[in-house]
Amino acid sequence: MNWLIVAGFLLFFLGMMISIGLHEIGHLVPAKLFGVKVTQYMVGFGPTLWSTRRGGTEYGVKWIPLGGYIRMIGMLPPRASDDPGKLRTMSTGPWQGLIESARQASLEEIRPADGDKVFYRKLWWQKVIIMSGGPAMNFLLAFVLFAIMLMGFGVQVSKPVVSMVSECVMTEAQQLKGEKCGPAHRPTPAALAGLKVNDKIVSLGGRPVASWEDATKVIRAHGAGPVTIGIERAGKPMTLNATLIAQDRPSVDDPTKIDKAVGYLGVGPTTVLERQGLGSVFAVMWDVTKRSAEALTRFPQRLVGVWQAAFGGAERDLNSPFSVVGAGRIGGEIAAAKAPVESKIVVFIQLLAGVNLAVGMFNLIPLMPLDGGQIAGGLWEGLKRGYARVRRRPMPGYVDIAKALPLTYAMAALLLVMGTLLIYADIVNPIRLSG
């Protein structure tokens, strides 16, 4: 057994549990601030492993570490036609009976001394803040982790300084086979132009180059044909002439795709570890947020791929969703990888930050029992009351989210099925960072 994999798994799993615990604190703090009675704060589900009671709240850890919750009293309001705490004993229809049973169970938690400590009586904006606190904590954690990674450790940055010059032109397939340059191979444009290691590229075709990304864009967009290359060699400016050729190369934005007939020079950049500023943290957060939002729109399609990988033996996509178990396995692979410890830490932090961002966005989906369902209810209540105030009409009652319980139970069942599928797939056919 590779103990590094086990240690990495446990370490990442611990990071996930801390993230879940902080997510629930994001709900707990504003709830207590606005005077809502919170009876439980738990990390995990199932039987209680350990707990303690402070200030009327039971804090504890459950045996099944796959989530967490806080329990606030009065989540469901009484029916508008009833006095608080008084409900009909008989209800018609299976769904109506289900709704009233859940409503009754919610109201039974309320004691006469609780008064305005119930959730449903709070102002709409207070409800929104309480329910937004969890996802907001995930976003804050992601930002802090990205800041530690970018500003503390730094990231690998490619500089427009030549680190290698390819001697001959080869296809990707030839390179993967390990072919050596021979008489049958033609020299690369860089070799013919006389480029050398440590040459700094400062311009291409008269256009200034500030980064390796700039150089790559210019070379690829130029296509086949002659181009002047401005360089600095040992501190002295020089101009070289090269004739680029057209090659099919992996896309810069998506290496799984191939760009056809782009310009090719035949040099590699120098990569250095460079600390970034605060602006880079915001830029990375925005970029990862956009990609996470796009991934959410393709979530059902990705689940089909997970099903095929779990039961059909199909190859597991690196970009497929994964469970807490899968995240832990990835953490184990990172720990066992043959790489410097600092690089492992950076990748570890990046993965945990990305997971927090994804969890925060998923919880904002406006469906119960996700946080977004309660947020949507609070916003709808605020909109109705604002409209009534403007129109000088009687103030409407609380939004009755109990009416959405049938959909909530259906959504909860769907989440359970999805979670079970992901855990199973992560056991039998997990995502592997290396072959």
Tell me what pLDDT residue 334 has.
Answer: 81
Q: Is residue 130 helix, strand or coil?
A: helix
| Among 429, 328, 302, 289, residue whose Cα is nearest residue 13 | 328
Can you name the residues that pair with 208 across neighbouring β-strands? 203
Quote the DSSP letter at residue 187.
Answer: B
CATH superfamily of 156-274: PDZ domain (2.30.42.10)
Q: Is residue 86 helix, strand or coil?
A: coil
| Among 44, 144, 64, 141, residue whose Cα is nearest residue 358 | 141
Tell me what pLDDT residue 10 has.
Answer: 84
Quote the DSSP letter at residue 1.
Answer: -
Please identify which of the residues 24, 100, 333, 381 carries the catalytic annotation. 24
Quote the DSSP letter at residue 120.
Answer: G
Contact 132, 371 (CB under 8 A): yes
As given in the structure block, the two tokens for residue 145 are 């982790």
Count Cβ atoms below 10 Å from residue 392 Cβ, excluding itself. Answer: 6
Kindly compute the dihedral angle of the four CA atoms of residues 97, 101, 102, 103, in this order, to the nearest 10 degrees. Answer: 100
| Among 395, 371, 375, 373, residue whose Cα is nearest residue 384 | 395
Model pTM score: 0.78
Question: Quick check: is 315 catalytic?
Answer: no
Q: 381-390 contacts: CB < 8 A, separation 24 or more?
A: 381/124, 381/127, 382/124, 382/125, 382/128, 385/124
Residue extent(s) of CATH 2.30.42.10 domains in the chain: 156-274
Q: Which residues contact 46 (CB under 8 A, 6 or more apart)?
A: 62, 63, 64
pLDDT (tens place) for every residue of the chain, 435 residues total: 467 778 878 888 888 889 999 999 999 999 999 999 999 999 988 899 999 999 889 999 999 887 899 999 988 888 765 544 444 444 445 556 667 677 777 777 788 888 889 998 999 999 999 999 999 999 999 999 999 999 999 888 889 999 999 888 877 667 667 778 888 788 999 999 999 999 999 999 889 988 899 899 999 998 899 999 999 999 899 999 999 998 888 887 776 678 888 899 989 898 888 889 999 999 999 999 998 888 888 888 888 888 888 888 888 877 788 887 887 888 888 888 777 788 888 888 988 999 899 999 999 988 888 899 999 999 999 999 999 999 989 888 888 887 777 888 888 888 888 888 888 888 888 887 665
Task: Return d(Cα 45, Cα 30) in angstroms, integer.
Answer: 23
